[in-house]
């Protein structure tokens, strides 16, 4: 009987049409996910006017999805390792599509916030599952780049809102952009039929025929006779208690450090996304200039994500991530002291690359750190705990703005989070990373083959 380690097979596979399919589904789902998250920002002025709500109430309405995302990341990230990723993704798509569409039928702030919270469960839940899916099937040499490409869906979803929102709202009212979010419900049957399931989950459920189909597509050169025994390393075996696994085998401290890194990363991202325009206006820049800064920030984020992923595949991703966190702290500090407008454009571009770009890279790293059997759980808990930073960031910086402190101190407060994130990542024990174990196994196999081939 032939034994096949499916994870080593995935690590060593060449990129082909199967990987393109996984990438396509991940990217498409996150485009819709990003649309659902960003749609409130485009419609909020019209919603405030229509419902007659204050700025404070509008802020709560906008942030209700963030609370849902925090719980969704934890619940569905864990659930995916128990019931399978395909079913979990389908549930999440149903949640964020249906309840975002239903928000368009609401007429008061409370019911709107409830719909957004329920939609947030799906928005937050799908992210760790799609990350784990792409990480599991990607060839090891290009894994970080493929995970980051999937994450580009978030930005593309925001761009989709920007391109269509104004026209739809102007012609059909704010409700139209929410009704449009219901369209992904039509994709669920296709997701269930064509999206590949996690291999450790299939092994656990003894669904060998589905495994063979995946292996044939993943590695077309692999000869199969029909009597193969599919295996994963002991640490990658699916388990009934995935949460406990995050703290076993010496991972407890590193797991907490990953949580801190996510919390500080999302603190920086959401503090800036909420207050960058206002802070630059306080510095004396016009609204047009402030919006230009926001555009540069987002362009920098895309460039930083791609560059970070390429560096992460070429070098040790842990140390690339440390450098990005530290760069974020330095560039944020410089923002408060840079007086030249032209130089400030450059600094804000770097800030985007080293804050939002860093957070995307952190998701890629978490996807590589945990074994496949608990990957969705690990990334889900990191993202869920990190949402506390997303919630606290705008609140804390808002409090500092109210104190009317010097501009430099506001940016330095955000920069402190980057410094803490760099220290947290530095303290992660990278030797426990699943990707490190796979690399060691591949090296041992290559050495064994070389010894066998060497003349006596």
Across 8-22, 267-281, 303-317, least confident range? 267-281
Q: Give the pLDDT of residue 448.
A: 46
Please tell me the least confidently modeled range out of 95-109, 156-170, 381-395. 156-170
Percent of the chain having pLDDT more than 90?
21
- Whether 290 and 418 map to the same domain: the answer is yes
CA-closest candidate to residue 378, choices 239, 195, 204, 280: 239
DSSP tally for the chain: helices H, then strands E: 18, 2
Same-domain status, 247 and 232: no
Instruction: Give me the half-sphere count of Cα atoms (radius 13 Å) on the Cβ side of residue 40.
Output: 24
Domain final position from 218, 237, 256: 237
In this predicted model, what pLDDT tens digit does every residue of 347-395 receive, in sequence order? 888 988 888 888 888 888 887 888 777 777 888 788 888 888 888 877 7
Which CATH number characterizes residue 88's domain? 1.20.1250.20
Q: How many CA atoms does the CB half-sphere of 194 hold within 13 Å?
A: 15
Checking if the pLDDT of 339 tops 80, the result is: no
Mean pLDDT of 192-211: 86
Buried b (16+ CB within 10 A) or exposed e, 403-426: eeeebeebbbbbbebbbbbbbbbb
Given 237, 258, 289, the domain boundary residue is 237
pLDDT band at 445 (very low <50, low <70, confident <90, very high): very low
Residue 398 vs residues 53, 270, 278, 352, 387: alpha-carbon distances, Å: 20, 12, 10, 20, 17
- The answer to whether residues 263 and 403 belong to one domain is yes
Judge whether 193 lies within some domain: yes
Taking residues 292-307, what's their average pLDDT? 79
pLDDT band at residue 97, thresholds of 50, 70 and 90? very high
Please state whether the predicted TM-score (pTM) of the whole model is above 0.75.
no
What mean pLDDT comes out for the span 310-339? Answer: 87
- Regarding whether 187 and 283 lie in a shared domain, the answer is no
Domain count, the chain: 2
Whether residues 290 and 407 share a domain: the answer is yes
Residue 203 scores a pLDDT above 80: yes
Which of residues 204, 237, 270 is at a domain's end?
237
Q: Cα separation of 329 and 305, whole Å?
A: 17
Which domain does 106 fall in, by range?
3-237
Q: Which tens digit of pLDDT belongs to each residue from 237-295?
A: 555 556 777 887 788 899 999 999 999 998 888 777 666 666 776 777 765 666 577 67
Residue 455 is predicted with a pLDDT of 47
Task: Assess contact for 24 and 32: CB atoms under 8 A.
Answer: no
Give the HSE-up count for residue 245: Cα atoms under 13 Å, Cβ half-sphere: 23
Same domain, 371 and 398: yes
Say yes or no: 382 and 283 in one domain: yes
Q: What DSSP assignment string belongs to 398-438?
A: HHHHHTT--HHHHHHHHHHHHHHHHHHHHTS-GGG-HHHHH
Residues 6+ apart with CB under 8 A from 216: 222, 224
Q: Per-residue pLDDT for 150 more than 80?
A: yes
Q: Output the average pLDDT for the chain.
A: 81
Q: For residue 134, what are its two tokens?
A: 């792409």
Kindly report, residue by residue over 417-436, the tens digit of the pLDDT: 999 999 999 999 888 776 55
pLDDT for residue 312: 80
Q: ∠ at Cα 62 (271, 386), nearest 5°? A: 45
């Amino acid at each position: 009987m032939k034994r096949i380690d499916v994870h080593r097979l995935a690590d060593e596979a060449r990129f082909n049409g199967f990987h393109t399919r996984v990438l396509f589904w991940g990217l498409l789902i996150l485009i819709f996910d990003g649309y659902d998250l960003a749609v409130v920002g485009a419609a909020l002025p019209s919603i405030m006017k229509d419902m007659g709500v204050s700025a404070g109430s509008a802020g709560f309405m906008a942030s209700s999805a963030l609370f849902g995302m925090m719980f969704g990341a934890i619940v569905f990230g864990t659930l995916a390792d128990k019931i399978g990723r395909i079913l979990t993704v389908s549930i999440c798509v149903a949640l964020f599509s249906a309840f975002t569409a239903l928000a368009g039928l609401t007429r008061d702030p409370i019911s709107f916030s409830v719909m957004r919270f329920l939609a947030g469960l799906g928005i937050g839940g799908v992210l760790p599952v799609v990350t784990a899916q792409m990480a599991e099937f990607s060839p090891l040499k290009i894994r970080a780049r493929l995970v980051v490409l999937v994450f580009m869906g978030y930005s593309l979803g925001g761009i989709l809102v920007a391109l269509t929102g104004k026209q739809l709202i102007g012609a059909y009212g704010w409700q139209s952009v929410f009704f449009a979010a219901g369209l992904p419900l039509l994709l669920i049957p296709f997701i269930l039929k064509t999206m590949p399931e996690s291999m450790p989950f299939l092994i656990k459920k003894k669904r060998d025929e589905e495994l063979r189909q995946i292996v044939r597509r993943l590695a077309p050169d692999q000869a199969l006779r029909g009597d193969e025994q599919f295996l994963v390393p002991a640490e990658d075996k699916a388990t009934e208690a995935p949460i406990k696994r995050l703290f076993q085998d010496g991972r407890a401290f590193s797991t907490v450090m990953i949580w801190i890194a996510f919390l500080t990363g999302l603190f920086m991202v959401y503090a800036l996304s909420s207050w960058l325009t206002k802070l630059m206006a306080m510095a004396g820049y016009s609204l047009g200039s402030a919006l230009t800064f926001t555009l540069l920030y987002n362009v920098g984020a895309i460039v930083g994500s791609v560059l970070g992923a390429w560096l992460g595949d070429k070098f040790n991703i842990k140390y690339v991530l440390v450098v990005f966190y530290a760069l974020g702290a330095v560039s944020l500090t410089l923002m408060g002291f840079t007086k030249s407008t032209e130089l400030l454009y450059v600094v804000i571009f770097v800030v985007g690359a080293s804050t939002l770009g860093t957070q995307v890279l952190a998701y890629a790293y978490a996807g590589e750190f945990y074994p496949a059997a608990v990957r969705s759980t690990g990334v889900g808990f990191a993202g869920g705990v990190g949402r506390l930073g997303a919630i606290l960031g705008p609140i804390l910086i808002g409090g500092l703005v109210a104190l009317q402190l010097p501009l430099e101190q506001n940016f330095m407060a955000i920069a402190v989070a980057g410094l803490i994130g760099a220290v947290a990542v530095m303290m992660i024990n990278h030797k426990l990373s699943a990707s490190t174990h796979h690399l060691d196994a591949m090296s041992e196999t290559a050495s064994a083959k070389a010894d066998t081939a060497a003349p006596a």
